[in-house]
Amino acid sequence: MYITIAKDHDNLTSDIYRKPTATDVIIPNDSCHPKEHRTAAIRYLYNRIEMYNLTPQNRRKDSSEIQQILVNNKYDASTASRLNNTKKQEQDIQKVKWAKFTYVGNETRLITKLFKHTNLKIAFTTDNTIERILSTKHEPVQNKYDKCGIYQLTCPTCKMKYTGQTGRPFKTRFQEHLRDSKQGSNKSRFAQELPTTDMQ
């Protein structure tokens, strides 16, 4: 959408131009978004009429097109008048504080009603964005042998099991068992029970 400016004698007039391919799609009224998000585009469209020096004819034409946009996106005809009344009320409110809530449905609306008669205004955010829905987060795959904790080793000869605990990576602790087996050290109880060849 663009603003066209035309010279009429000694005056400049403005008009709002929409491309023939314009879809006029805004957040539908039945979308799971807070009403503040759904009506943001509508507020912008009406504010733009007041912002530019439109002729009465162009003003009526653009208002009619906005009404059609509302119908196409499942809003009723009284939406515009309700927004204008809300705007006037908001202009009378001064020195308010804002708090942000993530909107998840009517439950969020019920909670925020508690602040209705206070000087705290509520701003809603959503996490159901296209980027969040379509993007896939890939968590890095951690090698299990780089972790620590409780481990169990099985003797390849007698099949007896040895259970131990380590605060170091498993692979580090296994290398200690292997070294003790080769050197004949008594530090590793597991290595003491194994022939040297079993730990190769």
Question: Coil, strand, or helix at residue 70?
Answer: helix
Q: pLDDT tens digits for 64-123?
A: 888 888 888 888 877 777 776 665 555 554 566 778 888 888 888 888 888 777 777 888
One domain, residues 88 and 167: no
Domain hosting residue 106, numbered range: 94-135
One domain, residues 28 and 107: no
One domain, residues 29 and 45: yes
Give the total number of structural domains in the chain.
3
Burial of 190 (0-12, 13-18, 19+ CB in 10 A): buried
pTM, full prediction: 0.44
One domain, residues 71 and 108: no
